[in-house]
Structures are given as C-alpha cells and as structure tokens.
Structure 1
C-alpha cells in the first residue's frame, strides 16, 4: 500500500509537507483549473509532480456529469469528456480515476463544520434533519430506476475505454450514503448497491474507492466488506465516523468505532497494494494559516493521519 495525500496541481507548502512525511505518491484535484482533462494540462501536471519526486497515481476530480446522471440532453458530450480524460490518463500512466455518481447533482453534504472534538479540535458532521427542512432540489422527481438506467448507459460507454487505456475506475460512495436528499434519490449508498453496480459491468477495471467513513456510516463490517470486494478495490479513503447514514460525525483516526488495524490487515489479505489516503480530518487549534482549506482538508490533522497509517502499515 502507498500512503498518499490529495495535493493541488502546482507546488505549495502541502507538497513540501508531503515530502517531509516521506510520501512519494500523489492524488491530484484541479481546483479552479479549466478543462484540466486535456492532454497538455495532465502532462504538465504529471511531469511537475515527477520533477518533485512524486508519482501521480490518482485523479480525484471530475468533469461535469450532472446531465449524464440525470439522463438529460447533452450527456453524450459529457461522457465524451470523461472518455478524453481516461484516454489521456492512460497515455500518461496515471493509474486510477476516482469518480462519483449520485453525488451529482448535490455533491458532498455536511451540515456542521465545527463540532467540538478532543482538545478543542473541530470536526465536521451530517444531520439529515437539516436536509429534511430544505426545499427540494430542481432535480427532485427523478426515480431510482432512471438513475440506475443512466448509470448502465454510462458504464457501457466508459468501461471499454478504461479497459483499452489501462485505467482503473474507482467509484466513490454517495456522501452521505442516504436517500433521498432534498427529493433526489441516491443509489451508491449501501453494500448491496455496490454488489449491483459491480455486476452491471463485469470488468477488473470497474471497481471501488473504498471510503471507510461512508461504509462505516452504512453500518458495514469494514474488514469483511474489504475482503468481499477484494481486487475490485482500486483506491482507499482511510477515515472513520461515529453514527449512521443520517447522523454522523467525522472522527480522529484513532478514536472511531472501526478497528483500523483489522482494516489494514484485510487490505493486506486481499493483496491490495494501491494508494491509500486520509480523508476528512479534524481542524486543530490555531489552524487558520490557509484560507482555502476546506473543512476536513486542513494540514495538521493530515500529518497525524499519515503517521497513523504508516505506523499501522509498519
């Protein structure tokens, strides 16, 4: 397994911290970059990481896919962009594309970003009551079966391209893994959903981003589920939550309900040797030095998490 972190496409203090932590694998997200899926942008990003001693192994950003998910006019153009991304990743030996489905159109949702944690750290959480009070989204009314049909349409076009390009597709769960949210169903929210969607296209390239926090909120047995999905797991988000799908709080890596050591042992048992990164860490006291730091992506908590992961691996 390769411990890694999400990094921006150009060097900043996060790149320096990652090297000081002994990391040599990177996950990239292209905040604020237009048409980043084109070859030239991906190539320069790949070589920029290489020049600084990193192997770029995962793209964790997504071209627009809302029309694709909702089955609207224009979805073929969106799918063509995804195909362009995958082909260019293959040309550049970028192994894994982490994508989402019914997080479109709502995205990742949290209702709190400063829940008290140990030592006055601040944690993020979700309480479905606030979404029940919210107005319906404009996409409300679409059915679960329509979403499944649209997913099949997408997989039938995209998985063969991934097979040809040699790129792993790693589907991330809905976050939060509950349905509906503001009137919109979500269909990647349970272990059974994953069984169904993996059967929709039987290919070793069509697999899973195993986000432990989401699977924990699904009340899945984490080690058992890791072993079930086995070689279909291409990428890991190593985190934990307290609570269930409709009400949970992100935890420190060493104080959640999941047996993290047993999880690492399960990955080892399945032969997983891919990238594993911390996700959604608490904000620590005094951590105000980077204004663009999203809740869950502040730096000091990630230092703790990487050390924790490396310790478990060792």
Structure 2
C-alpha cells in the first residue's frame, strides 16, 4: 500500500491542518535553502528568509534534517522522503566542483539513513528544474493551470549561453555519480529515485536531457540494478513519453524499481501541453492505481501540479492549497476503490 503524501518545505502554515483533516499523514520535504528552493521554489514556499538551522548547519546535514523531521512531526506528519539535494550542476556536468558536491549528497544520504527517511528524489536537469512557460491558463470553471510551449521556452535563449553540453557527457556524469553514491545509499537504506526531465524532451533551450524516455529509464536500471538505483515515476512526464502509462508502471515497477510517485495528469504533447485537474486529463488514473497495486508499490505517492481555484491568488502556481485538497480526496477515493476500504483491508490481514 502506498503512502499518501504532500510536498512541503518545513515552514509550517495554517493550511497544514487542512491536509491532516484530509487524511494526509506523510510529508515529502524540500530542504530550506537547498537546490530546489533556490532554483524555482522560493516563491512557492513563500521563503524569503535564510534557513536559520541550528549552529548554521547546512540544509543537507543531519542537524538540519532532524530539525525538519521534528517540525513535521509536531504537525502530525511523518517525513518519509526528501525531494531536493545540495546543488548538483557540477555533478551533472562533470565540472571542477563535482567531487565536493557529491560529498554533500553523500552527507545528506547518510543523514537520511540515520533519521530513517528512506527516499531521496533527485533530477538530472542542468540549470533548471521543471519548466513552464505560462502559469495562468484557464481551465474548468475558470481555474488556472500551468502550461508549456517549446517554442516559447526556446525563445528565452540557451540555459547556459556559450556552453556546449552533450547527452553522452550527461550519461557519463550520471554513471560517475551513481558509482560514488549507490554504495552509500545501500549502506544507509536510502533509495535514490531519479525524476524524469520535465518536460521529457531530448533538448530544451539548447540543453540536452537524458531522462526523457522509457529507454532512458531502461538504461538507468542497466547501469546498476541495485534497489537504491530507483525511479520517481512522475505520471505527467511519463504520459508525455508513452500513450500507455499503466503499462509503463507495470514494466518499470516489475522489479520494484519505482520508489516514489507523482500522481498528476495533463493534456497535449511534450512540446505543447497544459496541466489539468486530476480527473480531467488524458490518462486512465484508475488503471494507473491498479498498476501500482499489481506491482506492489509501497512508497510515497503525492499529488502534483494542481490548478489554482476560485479565491486563491495564484502566487504559488501548481501548488495552491485547494487544488491539493481536491487531489488528496480524489487519490483517496481511487485508493479505496482499488485497494479496498481500510476496514476491509484490516480484516483481511487479521
């Protein structure tokens, strides 16, 4: 059985009480002051102040992660995954600070092992994270969603002007990284879950991307079949890679390689798409849920990229409160329909 979760920085907000009332007991944390917050999530998190960890600890240290874990626990949520790392672009590019950055990731992995946080989601996108070109597209009932146009993205110019980066270079750097960190992850009992390129295109703004196809994930697993070399199955991205998302779940999850799920949907193609409500996209979400049941998936599953609904300011596009509550209820309903009502499941176990 998966663990319904929500993606949150460890900065408590009043609406967290609504999450608990909706039945969300698990948190996927973003580290205050680490790569994702600096890159795109400062506005999403409402974070303008420095992290202020005890003794000036780095966000990926055991001290900082223990503080974050305690913050979530105070609000009734268990921290079961981290969706963030120390800065990693020199790792991805094979740059001069690569080994130092890898040491920071190893420090984070060791801390997560001590603190029993079993999943680390990371990505291989250089200079950016998930890319959208609009955040105010009207959808059902006037709700607002995010969208992407490759033409509009490329018009912004290259991600790293004057820098020539190749796909083989990115693959070589990934193999170097995995060789260094997988033994540490195995020892710590932590699963490294690689997120797809978002959007899953072979090149965006003159920057190649290698985790943009099912073949890319097959290659990832061929590098090392360790349980710690795992996958973040972001459904929105996989829906742009294949017309049969449930089949992809069953293939990649057959050997328990899926460690973490982003449960979301959209309409369109990889070069031109819009996000949707969870019940209004192009994917058979109920069949996806059945596929997770069939492969025995037990990790964290969270909603992602929700619409901004009436009365909300859209200052956190994709991450406003009401859409997340809608998504949590939708997911819980599918869970009960596919896995059975909790009381029936308990009776079956007894």
- Category of TM-score, reference length = shorter chain: over 0.9
Is 1:236 the equivalent of 2:265?
no
Contact preservation (8 Å) 1:46, 1:56: yes
Residue 220 of structure 1: CA displacement? 4.3
Q: How does 1:134-283 map to 2 (within 5 A)?
A: 134-138=156-160, 140-230=163-253, 231-283=256-308
Is 1:304 the equivalent of 2:326?
yes
Contact preservation (8 Å) 2:29, 2:83: yes
Matches of 2:251 and 2:229 in 1, distance apart? 15
Contact preservation (8 Å) 1:7, 1:14: no
Is 1:110 the equivalent of 2:132?
yes
Q: Which runs of 5+ in 2 are unaligned?
A: 34-50, 53-57, 337-350
Contact preservation (8 Å) 2:231, 2:257: yes
TM-score if structure 2 supplies the norm length? 0.86
Residue 274 of structure 1: CA displacement? 1.3
3-state DSSP class of the match of 1:41?
A: helix
Contact preservation (8 Å) 2:306, 2:320: yes
Deviations 1:51-98 (A, max 9, x none): 332211010112100111111101100000000000000000001001
Contact preservation (8 Å) 2:289, 2:335: yes
Contact preservation (8 Å) 2:31, 2:85: no
Is 1:52 the equivalent of 2:97?
no
3-state DSSP class of the match of 2:208?
A: coil
3-state DSSP class of the match of 1:277?
A: strand
Instruction: Determine the structure 2 residue equivalent to 1:121.
Output: 143
Q: Which runs of 5+ in 1 are unaligned?
A: none
3-state DSSP class of the match of 1:234?
A: strand
Matches of 2:312 and 2:68 in 1, distance apart? 28
Root mean square deviation, CA, Å: 1.3
Instruction: Determine the structure 1 residue equivalent to 2:39.
Output: none
Residue 18 of structure 1: CA displacement? 1.4
Residue 219 of structure 1: CA displacement? 2.5
Matches of 2:6 and 2:154 in 1, distance apart? 34
Count of residue pairs brought into register by the alignment: 310
Matches of 2:283 and 2:218 in 1, distance apart? 22
Task: List, as ranges, runs of 4+ consecutive aligned residues in structure 1 with deviation greater than 4 Å.
Answer: none
Is 1:41 the equivalent of 2:55?
no
Contact preservation (8 Å) 1:36, 1:42: yes
Contact preservation (8 Å) 1:7, 1:15: no
Task: Identify the match of residue 285 of structure 1 among 310, 315, 319.
Answer: 310
Contact preservation (8 Å) 1:219, 1:244: no
Residue 295 of structure 1: CA displacement? 1.2
3-state DSSP class of the match of 2:204?
A: coil
Contact preservation (8 Å) 1:251, 1:282: yes
3-state DSSP class of the match of 2:15?
A: helix
Matches of 2:180 and 2:24 in 1, distance apart? 35
Residue 195 of structure 1: CA displacement? 0.4
Is 1:62 the equivalent of 2:85?
yes
